[in-house]
A and B are shown apart, each in its own frame.
Chain A
Amino acid sequence: MEKNVYKEIVQILAKTFKLDPNLIKPQALLKDDLGLDSVDIMDAICLFEEQFKIKILQDLNSIKIPLETVDDLNKFIQEKSSEKV
């Protein structure tokens, strides 16, 4: 399950922002390594909401994990997915 979520995150990032999937490593920095800006990250979060059927935007100001790396995103989505269950 966890691996599937990570895989889907990589697929969404690669497809949406035309990135080489091989560059999307867990420790890759969203801004510095992948070249994403705050608007791109917000677009990605909305796509994750749709893909994983979770609510993120309403809690955006209370995010405790800093969303700096791909792994941060992964952990955050996992956390939100488990809340849903």
Chain B
Amino acid sequence: MDISQLKEIVTSKEGKHCVKFDITLGDTNAMGGVVYFSNFVRWQGVVRELIMKQKCDFRKIMSQPLQMITHSCSVRFSDHLYFGDVVRIEVQTKQVLPTSFIMLFNYFNDGTNALVAIGEQKITFSDSKTGQLCRIPEEIYKLAKEVEIRNE
């Protein structure tokens, strides 16, 4: 996915950030087959940063002596996506703590509304001068809290 494929980022009433985009040949494994598995992980990175860029002043935040660290990430697959499909990724968070939070990604085929994969990643921040873990920047903390799932 590149920015030109992005259809929209909306925050639903149910408290989810939703991102839609078209699958292109470049996303598939070869000759227009299924979407290559690692793209689902790559999309997590793209989507999280697009949301942060749209919903807060991400550039300003990242211009501070700060590093965003991906502590862990995973994807579990239940179906394929193909060239020409539109994927919808719904993003929520859980366990929003002072220095870390978990982002949850539900991947849907937007045409059929089938859930094709679920993923999650844990993010933390460090001070790039000292290397010490630090508190989540306030704007990002608020953003994460907006879509937090509680009492899972």
A interface vs B, CB < 8 Å?
A: 16, 38-40, 42-43, 46-47, 50, 57, 60-61
Q: Which of B98, B124, B134 has the most CB of A within 10 A?
A: B98
- What is the distance, in angstroms, from B93's C-beta to the closest C-beta of chain A? 14
Whether the Cβ atoms of A16 and B97 lie closer than 8 Å is yes
In the assembled complex, the Cα of A57 lies from the Cα of B134 at a distance in Å of: 8
Given contacts A39-B100, A42-B99, A46-B97, 17 further A-B pairs with CB under 8 A are A16-B97, A38-B133, A39-B71, A39-B99, A39-B122, A39-B124, A42-B98, A42-B100, A42-B124, A43-B98, A43-B99, A46-B98, A46-B99, A47-B97, A57-B134, A61-B130, A61-B132
A43 to B71, CA, bound (A): 13
Q: Can you list 10 A-B pairs, Cβ within 8 angstroms, ordered by A?
A: A16-B97, A39-B71, A39-B99, A39-B100, A39-B122, A40-B100, A42-B98, A42-B99, A50-B98, A61-B132
How many A-B pairs have beta carbons closer than 8 Å: the answer is 30
Smallest beta-carbon distance B136→chain A, Å: 10
Nearest A residue (CB) for B133:
A42
Flag if B134 contacts A43 (CB, 8 Å).
no
Quick one: closest B residue to A46, CB to CB? B98
B7 at the interface (CB under 8 A from A): no
Question: Min CB distance, A51 to chain B, in Å?
Answer: 11
What is the minimal beta-carbon distance from B141 to any residue of chain A, in angstroms?
11
Q: Is B142 in the interface zone, CB < 8 Å from A? A: no
Q: Is B80 an interface residue (CB 8 A)?
A: no
How close is A61's CB to chain B, nearest CB, in angstroms?
7
Which residue of chain B has the shortest Cβ distance to A38 in the bound complex?
A: B133
Considering the chains assembled together, what is the distance between the CA atoms of A46 and B134 in angstroms? 9
The interface residues of chain B lying within 8 Å CB-to-CB of A60 are 132
Min CB distance, B143 to chain A, in Å? 18
Interface residue B55 (Cβ < 8 Å from any Cβ of A): no
Q: Does B135 contact A (CB under 8 A)?
A: yes
Which residue of B has the minimal Cβ distance to A44? B97
Closest 4 CB pairs of A and B: A46-B98, A43-B97, A42-B133, A42-B99
CA distance A38 to B126 in the complex (A): 12
B99: chain A residues at CB < 8 Å are 39, 42-43, 46
